Amino acid sequence: MSKPYNLEERTFLFAKNVRDLVYKLQYSIANNEDGKQVIRSSGSIAANYIEANEHLSGKDFDYRAKIYRKEVKETVLWIHLLNTPFNIDHKKNIIELANEAEELKKIFSAIIEKRKK
């Protein structure tokens, strides 16, 4: 499946796909708590990406870019915590989301590095 070139759309779809996964997980205290966290952080990636694109200044953009990169790093953590034997039925989806998060992290790091030059 091809990924959207538009990062605003891609971050939105990522947050939506995270939610879709969390809604499918069997209830447990760990899934509930980790699910809440991954929903928040994945949504924050998309929201801060939009905020960065609507920046008021270069410093504002740089600040927002660092936030969305921080949020994607946090999202990677929560996704990995969901990858347990208890969630074996959703392992493929979890791995796909972890891979997408890693790709987004690399893209965001490249944006930040390019801005430094």
Digit-by-digit pLDDT tens for the chain (117 residues) are 566 679 999 999 999 999 999 999 999 999 999 999 999 999 999 999 999 988 889 899 999 999 999 999 999 999 999 999 999 999 999 999 999 999 999 999 999 999 887
Domains of the chain as residue ranges with CATH: 7-116 (1.20.1440.60)
Measured between alpha carbons, how far is 89 from 16 in angstroms, rounded to an integer? 19
What is the pLDDT at residue 4?
Answer: 61
DSSP track, 71-82: HHHHHHHHHHHH
Picking from 41, 28, 107, the residue whose alpha carbon sits closest to that of residue 79 is 41
> Does the predicted TM-score (pTM) go above 0.75?
yes
Q: Which residues of 38-52 are buried (b: 16+ CB within 10 A; e: fewer)?
A: bbebbbbbbbbbebb
Residue with tokens 């994607």: 72
